[in-house]
Amino acid sequence: MRNASLFDLSGRKALVTGASRGIGRSIAEALSAAGADVAVAARKLSSLEETTAAVSAAGGAAYAIRLDVTDVEQCEAAIAEASRLLGGLDILVNNAGTEEVRPSLDVDEALWDRIVDTNLKGAFFCAKAAARQMRDAGRSGAIINLCSLTSEVGVPTAVPYGSSKSGLLGMTRALAAEWADLGIRVNAIAPGYFRTAMTDVFYSDQTWQQSMLAKIPQRRFGNLSDLHGIAVFLASDASAYITGQSIPVDGGFLASI
pLDDT tens-digit series, residues 113-164 = 999 999 999 999 999 999 999 999 999 999 999 999 999 999 999 999 999 9
Confidence grade of residue 204 (pLDDT, cut at 50, 70, 90): confident
Residue 105 pLDDT > 60: yes
How large is the average pLDDT for residues 29-56? 95
Look at residue 198 and tell me whether its pLDDT is greater than 90.
Answer: no
Domains observed in the chain: 3-248 (3.40.50.720)
Neighbours of 33 (CB within 10 A): 16
Place 17 in a pLDDT band, splitting at 50, 70 and 90.
Answer: very high
Q: Is 193 a catalytic residue?
A: no
What is the C-alpha separation between 158 and 150, in angstroms, rounded? 8
Q: Are 163 and 152 in contact (CB under 8 A)?
A: no
pLDDT of residue 197: 81
Mean per-residue pLDDT, 66-73: 98
Q: What is the pLDDT of residue 57?
A: 85
Inform me whether the pLDDT recorded for 237 exceeds 50: yes
What percent of the chain is modeled with pLDDT above 90?
Answer: 91
First to last CA, the chain: 40
pLDDT over 70 (residue 2):
no
Mean residue pLDDT across the chain: 95
> Is pLDDT of 212 > 80?
yes
pLDDT of residue 61: 85
Mean pLDDT of all residues in 58-84: 96
**Can you give the pLDDT at residue 202?**
81
Catalytic one among 63, 161, 203, 241? Answer: 161
More confident residue, 217 or 203: 217
Is the pLDDT confidence value at 104 over 60?
yes
Q: How confident is the model at residue 58 (pLDDT cuts 50, 70, 90)?
A: confident
In sequence order, what E strands does 98-160 have? 141-146
Angle at 94 between CA 90 and CA 95, to 5 degrees: 130
Q: Which pLDDT score, from 0 to 100, does residue 1 have? A: 45
Q: What percent of the chain has pLDDT over 70?
A: 98
Mean pLDDT on 98-103: 94
What is the model's pLDDT at position 196? 86
Residues 6+ apart with CB under 8 A from 93: 14, 15, 16, 17, 24, 27, 28, 31, 143, 144, 146, 231, 235
Measured in degrees and rounded to the nearest 5, phi and psi for residue 225 equal -65, -20
